[in-house]
Structure 1
Amino acid sequence: MAGAAVLIVERTATEIGGVEGLRQLAETCRPIAIRGVCSDWPAVLAGSQGEDAVLSYVERFDTGSSAEYFAGAPSLSGRYHYGDGPGGFNFARETISVRQAIARIAANARDQGGTGYLGSLPTDRHFPGFAEDNPCVLLPRDVQPRMWLGNASTVACHYDTYDNLACVVAGRRRFTLYPPDAIGDLYVGPIDHTLSGQPISLAAGAVDDGQYPRFAAARGRAVVVDLAPGDALYLPKLWWHQVEALDPVNILVNYWWDGFSAGPDAPHTAMLLAMIAIAERPAAEREAWRVYFNHYVFRPDGHPLAHMPDAQHGVLGPLDQGNYGRIRALVMRLLRGQ
């Protein structure tokens, strides 16, 4: 797939047709811009009446809880990134009440004195009743939303390890997307000293001063998707995305879930384990393991036991026939040294 053009699917909620329709489209692992999917939400309708109206609507659900608030100076221009500030970042983190944070966001929008945002707030904890008032017809009911609320900002280019449906409530959003195989051209930062959990691209959004020469290849594959209130973007896991909130007050609700999970174990966990088990072995041995991973895990040539009757596949049979638990038990015994 390296070097291939990025394709964005455009659909309406009616064309997708519900939970199963989204799941079928998601199997292609391509982003989908979904127009108007939440345009009838009360939250979106409140946003159409102005910034004060939508902030007041959100405050109706506030429980008085506290959350982490990101605060930036006017010179930041809303670009949250690494820097010389606390902890090596160009912004400050504060734990304050959600109500205080909303008031500061409103003041920032009014006075243009700085920028701030609240990110990834589970609505069932901070805004109970919001999800029921603004239901998503494309996801199972047990997938709970999170809210992102702030001023104009640029969230650094990163990826998620879950499927993501991002629904715009208020303000316009601009997503700049890069496919997973652009990772080598994005100059990714540390995985354990991050802005907000996920590694970020150091090159995307930076001044082009020649420091990141390979980024030109990624830039040529970037696709920009603009979303208005009521629109949504489906992002498959591992797709890189820079997110710009373009208006003085912006609210986004997103849903993270794994649409193709066979159990509780995550691919990202397997990758971390592979890093300590394989990454620093000799190059020739790493290449040998690559062949085995391809054969047993990625399966470009089909099932590794296709030449044998299904009844003789053992733990390589379908995971939903008890083999998930058998393999997991084996892995746990090996990790314990048994």
Structure 2
Amino acid sequence: MADISPNLLADLPKVAEEQVAPGELDARLKGAREPFVIRGLAADWPLVRAGLENSAAARDYLVAHGRDRQFPVNIGQPGGGDRLFYDHAMKINFRMATGPLDAILDGIGANEDKPDAPVIYLSSIDMGDYFDGLREANNLPLGDRKPIESIWIGTRTRIAAHNDVPDNVAVCAVGRRRFTLFPPEQMANLYPGPLESTPAGRPVSMVDLRDPDFEAYPRARAALAAAQIAELEPGDAVFVPSLWWHHVEGLSPFNILVNYWWRDVPGFLGKPEDALFHAILAIRDLPEADKAQWEAIFDHYVFHNSPEVMSHLPAGARGILAPLTSETAGQIRAKLLRGLSR
């Protein structure tokens, strides 16, 4: 494979752009499995217009809608760079604090022009819980979906490549954002870090995309060969499908992102990541011969799940082998709770 150029991100192919009016977004997202960019989707948002005036106007707009409560914030070290990650001892390289929104935003404003400014980052703040009227004034028409609506506010930041289980529409509201996206099958080539100690709740790639160490992570070349990039201006949006890995950079001195997470599955279904943790607990360290048997069992009941799994049983006797309902999902949860509490 040819060497990646020093300016590797600029050389990556661009995520496809589509012309989608806000009223057409719901239909376009149904069954979508590939990322795409929509220019100007949120250009009419008051938050976007405030940010185009200047960053201070955007901060004033947020404060006007912020509730009188403590906001969680991540704070890096002065001169520590913009990457929220691990230190050399594999400890998280930032601290978490809380404070009133106006004080946090004043701190961002005071550090906006300093080259050694610490990262100050409000991450995944629930817009309904922490703001009054913000999500109503700045929203996307997503049909009957009930998404998690989050806002991300901060200085220049780099968030290591990671994936999320829900589908995601991310809107660059203020500043500029760069998304570098990788298909799910590139997971091993991105060298995921620990499952249970992460900078943001999901395993992250150990590869620094700004300066990749191909000696330590040689398969990262293959991941980059499959990557796509999306450069977003205020009002632009990108669709990130479920389980696509994405490295996210806030490129301006002050940046705001609004994102919408949802799953197009019944709400009673469990979380796949919970099943992964349970499988590690119950199966991963078994003898190889036993694991092979359990792999066949999982293929039979879960991954292949052909009609032959239950067709020989009377319709009223299929239990949880039949398509799940809220009732049978509850039965599974109760059984798991009993087993895990022993």
Is the structural similarity TM-score above 0.5?
Answer: yes
- Once residues 107 and 341 of structure 2 are traced to their aligned partners in structure 1, the CA distance between those partners, rounded to angstroms, is 50
Q: What SS does the corresponding residue of 1:244 show, helix, strand or coil? A: strand
**Which runs of structure 2 are paired with 1:70-89 in the superposition (5 Å)?**
70-73=74-77, 75-83=79-87, 88-89=91-92
- Once residues 99 and 135 of structure 1 are traced to their aligned partners in structure 2, the CA distance between those partners, rounded to angstroms, is 23
Are 1:319 and 2:330 counterparts? no
| 4+ runs deviating over 6 angstroms | none
Q: What SS does the corresponding residue of 2:187 show, helix, strand or coil? A: helix
Match of residue 104 from structure 1: 107
In structure 2, which of residues 196, 199, 203 is the aligned counterpart of residue 195 of structure 1? Answer: 199
**Which runs of structure 2 are paired with 1:219-234 in the superposition (5 Å)?**
219-234=224-239
Give the letter for the 1:267 counterpart. Answer: P
Are 1:281 and 2:294 counterparts? no
- Once residues 212 and 146 of structure 2 are traced to their aligned partners in structure 1, the CA distance between those partners, rounded to angstroms, is 42
In structure 2, which of residues 9, 17, 37 is the aligned counterpart of residue 10 of structure 1? Answer: 17
The RMSD of aligned alpha carbons is 2.9
Give the letter for the 1:12 counterpart. Answer: Q
Maintained 8 Å contact 2:310/2:322: no
- Once residues 288 and 47 of structure 1 are traced to their aligned partners in structure 2, the CA distance between those partners, rounded to angstroms, is 57
- Once residues 23 and 289 of structure 2 are traced to their aligned partners in structure 1, the CA distance between those partners, rounded to angstroms, is 47
- My pick for the range that moved more, 102-111 or 71-80, is 71-80
**Which runs of structure 2 are paired with 1:91-130 in the superposition (5 Å)?**
91-114=94-117, 115-130=119-134
Give the letter for the 1:65 counterpart. Answer: R
Match of residue 3 from structure 1: none
Q: What SS does the corresponding residue of 2:18 show, helix, strand or coil? A: strand
Give the letter for the 2:234 counterpart. Answer: P
Are 1:156 and 2:163 counterparts? no
Maintained 8 Å contact 1:34/1:231: yes
Maintained 8 Å contact 2:22/2:41: no
How far residue 68 of structure 1 moved from its aligned partner, in angstroms, is 2.7
**Which runs of structure 2 are paired with 1:208-247 in the superposition (5 Å)?**
208=213, 210-247=215-252
Q: What SS does the corresponding residue of 2:186 show, helix, strand or coil? A: helix
- Once residues 169 and 262 of structure 1 are traced to their aligned partners in structure 2, the CA distance between those partners, rounded to angstroms, is 29
How far residue 326 of structure 1 moved from its aligned partner, in angstroms, is 4.4
Per the alignment, do residues 273 and 218 of structure 1 end up closer, same or farther by CA in structure 2, a change over 3 Å counting? same
- Once residues 112 and 249 of structure 1 are traced to their aligned partners in structure 2, the CA distance between those partners, rounded to angstroms, is 13
Question: What's the CA shift string for 1:207-247, capped at 9, x where partnerless?
Answer: 42511122222121111111121122222232211101111
- Once residues 267 and 300 of structure 2 are traced to their aligned partners in structure 1, the CA distance between those partners, rounded to angstroms, is 20
Gapped runs of 5+ residues in structure 1? 1-5
Give the letter for the 2:272 counterpart. Answer: P
Match of residue 35 from structure 1: 39
Give the letter for the 1:108 counterpart. Answer: N
Per the alignment, do residues 248 and 213 of structure 1 end up closer, same or farther by CA in structure 2, a change over 3 Å counting? same
Give the letter for the 1:184 counterpart. Answer: A
Per the alignment, do residues 32 and 93 of structure 1 end up closer, same or farther by CA in structure 2, a change over 3 Å counting? same
Match of residue 181 from structure 1: 185
Q: What SS does the corresponding residue of 2:158 show, helix, strand or coil? A: strand
Per the alignment, do residues 283 and 121 of structure 1 end up closer, same or farther by CA in structure 2, a change over 3 Å counting? same
- Once residues 315 and 269 of structure 2 are traced to their aligned partners in structure 1, the CA distance between those partners, rounded to angstroms, is 26
Q: What SS does the corresponding residue of 1:102 show, helix, strand or coil? A: helix
Give the letter for the 1:233 counterpart. Answer: V
Per the alignment, do residues 198 and 61 of structure 1 end up closer, same or farther by CA in structure 2, a change over 3 Å counting? same
Question: What's the CA shift string for 1:113-152, capped at 9, x where partnerless?
Answer: 4032111111112212101111211254743411111111
Maintained 8 Å contact 1:63/1:127: yes
Equivalenced residues, count: 328
Question: What's the CA shift string for 1:246-293, capped at 9, x where partnerless?
Answer: 111100011222222451521111111111111111222222222222
Maintained 8 Å contact 1:124/1:144: no
Are 1:54 and 2:58 counterparts? yes
Give the letter for the 2:162 counterpart. Answer: H
Maintained 8 Å contact 1:62/1:126: yes
- My pick for the range that moved more, 221-230 or 256-265, is 256-265
Maintained 8 Å contact 1:186/1:204: no
Per the alignment, do residues 322 and 80 of structure 1 end up closer, same or farther by CA in structure 2, a change over 3 Å counting? closer
